[in-house]
Each structure stands twice: as C-alpha cells, then as structure tokens.
Amino acid sequence: MSDENAQTATGMPENSERAPSQEHDPQTTKLPMSGIRVIDVGTFLAGPYAASVLGEFGAEILKVEHPLAGDPMRRFGTATKRHDATLAWLSEARNKKSVLIDLRQQEGVQLFLKLVGKSDVLIENFRPGTMEEWGIGWKELSEINPGLVFLRVSGYGQTGPYRHRSGFAHIAHAFGGLSYLAGFPGETPVVPGTAPLGDYLSSLYGAIGIMLALRHREKTGRGQIVDIGIYEAVFRHLDEIAASYGLFGKIREREGAGSFVAVPHGHFRTRDDKWIAIACTTDKMFERLSEAMERPELASSRLYGEQRKRLAARDEVNRIVIEWVGSLSREEVLSRCLEKEVPIGKVNSIADIFEDEHFQARGNLARLEEPGLGEVVVPGVTPRLSLTPGQINNLGPPMGNATYEVMRELLGLSAEEIKQLRQRKII
C-alpha cells in the first residue's frame, strides 16, 4: 500500500512525517500488523515480548539498545557461539532490528524523539519515572507524535504506593497470588514453573492493549498510554479466587497436582516411571475412566458416581487410580483412556515434545538456520490465523544491525553525521 493509505488505515494525521515501514515487503504486506512501526526500548522480556508478537504478524520492530552493552537479555540464558546472543535472545527477540542509541545523552534523546515521530508504538519497561528523567516521558512523546501508542510495563504499574519498586516475574508470581497456590499442602510454596510466566502474560496483555489503542486511534487520531503491572497479569488468571474470598472468606491453599473442584484430577506415575495427567471434572468423565479401568462399578451411585461423593472420598479415589495407572506403561494407560475418551495427556519433557507428532504437525517447533550456529529450534507462532498466518523472519538480531539503515534511510542523516555520532558513542 502507499504511505498515504497506510496513514489513513492507522489513524495517523495526514501531515504526519511517519515514513513507510514494510508496505513494499512482499513477505509482510498481507499480514495484519503490516505498516505499523514499533519501537522497543525495553530490556529483558516483559514488554519486549509484546513487540515480538506484533512482529510475527507484520509490524516493523526497531529494538533500541545502548551502544555499549545492549539489552541484558543478550546475556541471559544459555550462551552460544555468538558473543551477543544467548538462546533466550535468539528465541524471544525474533523479528526485530537492532538500533543503537544512547538515551542518556542529549543527542541520543533527540535522535530517539525523531524516531518516535515516525513510529506508531513505543514499548518500555523501566521503573516508573525513568523515561521522564531522560526527558522522554509522555509529555514530550505525545507532543512529537499525538497518535503514539505507548505501552508501559513495570512490576507494579505506573501508579500506586509500590510503583517505584523493582519488579520481576518471580516477584509478580508471589505478589499476584500464584506462588501461594503452587506446591503441596503444608509445604513451601514453589516457583510455578521455571519460565517467567508473568513476563509473558503481561506482554500478551500489552499486545492486546496496543491493538485496542490502535483501533481507538483509527477513530480519533489520538494515541494513549497502555499501563500494565506484571503482577496484574498474573492475578487476572486466578479464576474465581477473588470472588470466593470476597463472598465467603475462603482462602485457597496449595493442592499439589490436584484440584479442589474435581477428583481424580492430577498427575499419576506409570509403571515405566513416566507421568500422565488425568482430568475428570464431570460424572460422565469419571464413568468413562471407570470403563477404561474395567471397573464400571466405581461410577455407580452407590460408590463414586457423583462428584460430591468423589470429593468426600478424595484419598480413596486417588489411591484406586494411582494403583491402576502404576500397573501399566504410559502408552497402555493412554491407549485405554483415549479409547474411552477420557481427558488424558502426557506430562511432557522437552524431549517428549520434540518427538511428539502433534507438535510436529501443528508447526509448534520452528526451525531456522542461524549463521555460525546452524539450525536453531524455537516455539512457533501463536495464534494461528487462517488467512494471514504469522511468520518468523529472523531470530534475535546482532547488535546494531539496523542502526545505519535507520539513521540514513528513516532519519535522513548523512554518512558523515552517522560517522560522527558513532565516534562519540551516541549510536
């Protein structure tokens, strides 16, 4: 599409200086976020992952990093032969271009503001007040670009008494109420998985917020701030826990692999020392499990056919299932349960996932060739769109791989100006 049409479609003012981003790239023009330019100035994962998601669906992502150190995410996780890229960086900074600008120097700030004037979205995740200290708070940004959508992700949000506290996913899991639920009854709360779920969840809400704000901009031409605390994204996923406490004063405790609403509902070890997950949340599902176990009498009204009776006899019902599962191999348990349509699945390790035919068929494992490293496998694109499926064009970029391109082609600087900026370590 033409630059004029792109501005109309995104709600940009007609006199905007915003330059076309990827309208003429045949690989991205048909994607839903095509024509949207995003500046990602955050670090690590909370916030920057939102940019990665948008990039998978056509947005141009400019990753602004410090000229000397870059994003610390480059050094987080498993090291590779690329000195500036861990596996975490390669996977989660995909579809981005790296632009080096020192925001702590005034000349860097001025370059950054010019870049903002030619962009649609800005993403940051610094402690509240940091960007204001650098002279690039909402006041300055909105003056440069009234249509800017500004995603701000922080541990506790931009307001409230805790807003200046540092925030990480691990702390958000605890503060947001998730860690309290993780583990076995009466024991130490555990980390709910080793992945930083809070960072991913807050970024997904960030991506949703960006798209909602862009939709509003289409109607009004006005940008706005999207404000997310990492703990809020965690708390929002705790189902009825707030309503239960508000109405009845009930505090949900740790339940291990089980569930307070259903039984059997948990993880069970098979004879070959593997694990499967079973979820019988209705009487019909338990009836099917009883048939798979060749013990249909268990689902009678006299025994455990009603949910309330199973809950009252939780230990006994679980013991019966544990013994049955433990007498068979994982494949035998799966076969018998799937035949009776019992909700069941493997508790997969990553090795299991790599071998699983369904992961392969759905394209959940994306394989890309990375210079100097060979094939790198990363999670595929989610969600799946039938007409405009997302794509991975590149893994996490080398430091500064697009600095010259952006300075020269987007900001219109001369080769000599770029050289001088590099000598002074502004870029």
Active-site residue, selected from the candidate residues 71, 199, 227, 315: 199
Residues contacting 226, CB < 8 A, separation 6+: 149, 150, 151, 152, 206, 209, 210, 212, 213
Active site residue 199: yes
Q: What pairing do the DSSP bridges indicate for beta strands 37-40 and 121-124?
A: parallel
Confirm if 92 and 63 have CB atoms less than 8 A apart.
no
Contacts 24+ apart (CB under 8 A), 209-212: 209/151, 210/50, 210/54, 210/121, 210/123, 210/149, 210/151
Q: Minimal CA–CA distance to 32: which of 282, 390, 287? A: 390
Confirm if 337 and 344 have CB atoms less than 8 A apart.
yes
Pair of tokens at residue 374: 């060979």
Q: Which helix (H) or strand (E) holds 326?
A: helix 314-326
Other C-beta atoms within 10 Å of 11: how many?
A: 20
Give the residue numbers marked as catalytic: 199
